[in-house]
Amino acid sequence: FLYTYALYPQRNEIRQYDSLDGLWTFVREQSNTNGTGLVNQWYLSDLSTFPNATQIPVPSAYNDLVEQREWRDHVGWVWYQLKYTPAQRDQGLRTFLRFESVNYFAMVFLNDKNVGNHTGGHLPFEFEVTFDYTKINFITVAVNNTLSNSTIPPGEFQYKTEVYTINGQPYSVYPDGFFEQTPDFDFFNYAGILRSAYVLKLGSVFISDVWIIAQANGSLSYTITLDKSTTGLTANVTVSSLQPTTGTIVYSGTGLQNSAIVQNIELWYPRGYGYPSLYVMEAKLLNGTQVIDIYRETFGFRTVTWDSDKIYINGKPFYCHGFGAHEDFELHGRGYNPVVMIKDLNTMEWMNGNCYRTSHYPYSQERAYEADRRGIAVITETPAVGMRLFDNTNLALHKYMLTEMIQRDKNHPSVIAWSMSNEPQTYKNESKAYYQQLANVSRTLDSTRPVTNVLDTNWDDDQIAEWLDIICINRYYGWYSNTGYLQTIANSYIGNFLAWKQKFNKPMILTEYGAGAIAGLTREPGVDFTEEYQVEVIRRVHMALDELRKNGTITGEMIWNFADFMTSQSTTRAAGNHKGVLTRNRQPKMAAYVIKDRYYNLTVEL
Ligand code: GCB
């Protein structure tokens, strides 16, 4: 795997980029034809001349933009192409094609050349390219969304046949080549170029990474990495406050690496605990007196610590009350949309939430910057959901994804923990060594944040809890078990959490609980899938959480889910998962008001 540092694109005095967002030519291969386009080198053609060509917006999933079932449920290759004419004035700059997210496997071509490939749906990648300045260039991206045992997240892929013999003649149930693709996770496998794409234009040597570690005691250390090792270059670095006393320079220094104790800083706190003060580090790369690159990164001074019971931010016990969520919306699916992102964060704040988990993949980096600014604490999770096979192939890919994620998000003060995965089958013995290695990767890269994993195993069979700093647990008492028996809910939670606590004595967060409710479906007394039942289940869980919170067993809670979201089809899902306290359109169900009140009271109690 190729590691790219992939700093978030920036335009400034030195750096430029072109946005590649907009309509791209789009051609879908037949489902699972095993690469007709590659065999026939489609990247050599102008795809807009193909009879089945259409246009699809970037960023967006393609699945919900067409009426044909085969498009929505497509499994296999699709092709994106854009004609790009580079500006003459850019000759002499180094250029990179950058994609914030392509799900799942991407092969990127510039004209007749495969400039690079990337595996995994929700993290950025970039490849250096050489444009032809004398003509129109073709940027082609072939995307494959097929899931298997060795994709992360995994899925089942199975060809199916069933043949009766009727009067001596074969009678086949399934059409030729019929297959079933079943994701091992509970959300729709939206595919395509899901986030923005860019042409980055940089100088002959540039800043490829800035790693900032800033703690509550004012200690600051930074490392600037260049894209290639170059002697004789130096850096001028200043740090100034962004809010609330904008512009005050609190540090200036030189060198690609340095550290200091900065006086009189204002700390970054999650909302409810203080102000989320941010600073900006300006790194100027110098060749003698000539400025050859500038990168400005926001960050905050804050320290995350933990003991056996709690998480602390800047030494204050932090109780997270928030949401499991999805990047999911009508029409564009998992495609990035600033409108949805801002509405989501505003609605989280309206419900008085102070945290969320990026279930079940890293969210857009735009959102991480917004969480910094708003003071929302985030548990950032890799795309590993539903892991069941713990072999070396998956371990290598999983380590790669964890590394890419930490590389991308390390400077965000809002990120308070790294989650290695969601609900892996960690009752299996093989998971033990696998997760020990992953936890080591996390700690080696970033010793300033706790490492966690979201578990649905139990205290008596889980193999990996011992490697975790924080134990995150998903539980659905009163929904998947004891459905309808409200009186059993509170004790189920209390008993289960106390048993975990007794065995591992670590801080714990309930990262998922809840019940499905179809908006507008009501019954008194409530039954499953009514708004009343969702409220009743949630209230019972809150009774348990209050007890567990007061006796120090848990350090946080997150309702599943912030909003309804699309899944693949199943008899337990009605056009998606309805455990949202909001509808998919982000309008409140009854449960939203219960959460809003509870989170208000939790904020007031601080
Ligand atoms: C879980 C999963 C989540 C599902 C949820 C549910 O435990 O982590 O992805 O959507 O349960 O609603 O079943």
Query: What is the average per-residue pLDDT within 274-292?
Result: 96
Which residue type, as a one-letter code, is found at position 411? N
Going by alpha carbons, the residue nearest to atom 3 of ligand 1 is 186
Q: For 14-40, write each residue's pLDDT tens digit.
A: 999 999 999 999 999 988 877 899 999
CA of 42 to the centre of ligand 1 (A): 39
Q: Which atom of ligand 1 is nearest to the CA of 454?
A: 8
CA of 9 to the centre of ligand 1 (A): 33
Give how far the C-alpha of residue 185 lies from the chain's centroid of Cα atoms, to the nearest Å. 15
CA of 560 to the centre of ligand 1 (A): 8
Going by alpha carbons, the residue nearest to atom 7 of ligand 1 is 474
Give how far the C-alpha of residue 411 lies from the chain's centroid of Cα atoms, to the nearest Å. 16
Which residue type, as a one-letter code, is found at position 396? A
CATH 2.60.40.740 fits 16-201, yes or no: no
Q: For 147-193, write each residue's pLDDT tens digit.
A: 999 999 999 999 999 999 999 999 999 999 999 999 999 999 999 99
Residue from 203, 228, 226, 227 nearest 90 by CA: 203
Average of per-residue pLDDT values in the chain:
96
Break the chain into its structural domains and give their ranges. 16-201, 205-299, 304-605
pLDDT for position 364: 98
CA of 101 to the centre of ligand 1 (A): 23
Going by alpha carbons, the residue nearest to atom 4 of ligand 1 is 186
Going by alpha carbons, the residue nearest to atom 5 of ligand 1 is 186
Going by alpha carbons, the residue nearest to atom 13 of ligand 1 is 186
Q: Could you name the CATH architecture of 304-605? A: Alpha-Beta Barrel (3.20)
Query: What is the average per-residue pLDDT within 262-276?
Result: 96
Confidence bin at 464 (pLDDT 50/70/90): very high
Q: Which atom of ligand 1 is nearest to the CA of 185?
A: 9
Fold of 205-299: Immunoglobulin-like (2.60.40)
CA of 585 to the centre of ligand 1 (A): 20
CA of 186 to the centre of ligand 1 (A): 6
Q: Which atom of ligand 1 is nearest to the CA of 422?
A: 8
Confidence bin at 5 (pLDDT 50/70/90): low
pLDDT for position 34: 76
Strands annotated E in 7-154: 16-19, 22-28, 54-58, 77-84, 94-99, 102-103, 105-110, 113-119, 125-129, 137-144
Q: For 101-127, write each residue's pLDDT tens digit.
A: 999 999 999 999 999 999 999 999 999
Q: How far apart are CA 102 and CA 84, in angstroms?
A: 19
CA of 555 to the centre of ligand 1 (A): 21
Tokens 């290598």 found at: 396
Going by the DSSP 8-state scheme, the letter that residue 276 receives in this structure is B
Q: Which atom of ligand 1 is nearest to the CA of 423?
A: 8
Q: For 345-392, write each residue's pLDDT tens digit.
A: 999 999 999 999 999 999 999 999 999 999 999 999 999 999 999 999
Residue of 423, 512, 531, 557 with catalytic role:
423
Residue 357 CA: distances (Å) to CA of 224, 289, 558: 29, 45, 8
pLDDT for position 242: 87
Q: How far apart are CA 593 and CA 600, in angstroms?
A: 10
Pocket perturbation via mutation, ligand 1, pick of 518, 560, 566, 568 by most ligand atoms within 8 A of CB: 560
- Kindly tell me if the per-residue pLDDT of 141 is higher than 90: yes
Q: Is 264 exposed, middle or buried (0-12, 13-18, 19+ CB in 10 A)?
A: exposed
> Which protein residues are within 6 Å of ligand 1, measured from CB?
186, 360, 422-423, 456, 474, 512, 560, 577, 579
Going by alpha carbons, the residue nearest to atom 10 of ligand 1 is 186
* Cβ atoms within 10 Å of 572's Cβ, excluding its own: 9
Q: Is the ipTM of this complex over 0.85?
A: yes
Q: Which atom of ligand 1 is nearest to the CA of 565?
A: 10
CA of 533 to the centre of ligand 1 (A): 18
Q: pTM of this prediction?
A: 0.97
pLDDT for position 576: 98
pLDDT for position 424: 98
- Kindly tell me if the per-residue pLDDT of 199 is higher than 90: yes
pLDDT for position 569: 96
- Kindly tell me if the per-residue pLDDT of 234 is higher than 80: yes
Active site residue 423: yes
In percent, the amount of the chain with pLDDT more than 70 equals 99
Going by alpha carbons, the residue nearest to atom 2 of ligand 1 is 186
Q: For 305-358, write each residue's pLDDT tens digit.
A: 999 999 999 999 999 999 999 999 999 999 999 999 999 999 999 999 999 999
Query: What is the average per-residue pLDDT within 494-499?
Result: 98
- Kindly tell me if the per-residue pLDDT of 509 is higher than 90: yes
Who's near 543: CB < 8 A, 6+ residues apart? 489, 490
pLDDT for position 551: 94
Pocket perturbation via mutation, ligand 1, pick of 328, 577, 581, 584 by most ligand atoms within 8 A of CB: 577
In the three-class reduction of DSSP (H, G, I as helix; E, B as strand; rest coil), residue 356 is classed as strand
* Cβ atoms within 10 Å of 166's Cβ, excluding its own: 8
- Do 586 and 605 form a contact (C-beta atoms < 8 A)? no
pLDDT for position 448: 98
Residue from 96, 67, 69 nearest 84 by CA: 96
Query: What is the average per-residue pLDDT within 301-308?
Result: 98
Q: For 44-67, write each residue's pLDDT tens digit.
A: 999 999 999 999 999 999 999 999
Pocket perturbation via mutation, ligand 1, pick of 184, 186, 511 by most ligand atoms within 8 A of CB: 186
CA of 385 to the centre of ligand 1 (A): 10
- Kindly tell me if the per-residue pLDDT of 89 is higher than 80: yes
Q: For 546-591, write each residue's pLDDT tens digit.
A: 999 999 999 999 999 999 999 999 999 999 999 999 999 999 999 9
pLDDT for position 92: 94
Pocket perturbation via mutation, ligand 1, pick of 360, 512, 579 by most ligand atoms within 8 A of CB: 512
Query: What is the average per-residue pLDDT within 402-428?
Result: 97
Pocket perturbation via mutation, ligand 1, pick of 474, 475, 480, 562 by most ligand atoms within 8 A of CB: 474
Confidence bin at 4 (pLDDT 50/70/90): low
Q: Which atom of ligand 1 is nearest to the CA of 567?
A: 10
In percent, the amount of the chain with pLDDT more than 90 equals 96
pLDDT for position 1: 56
CA of 187 to the centre of ligand 1 (A): 9
pLDDT for position 606: 74
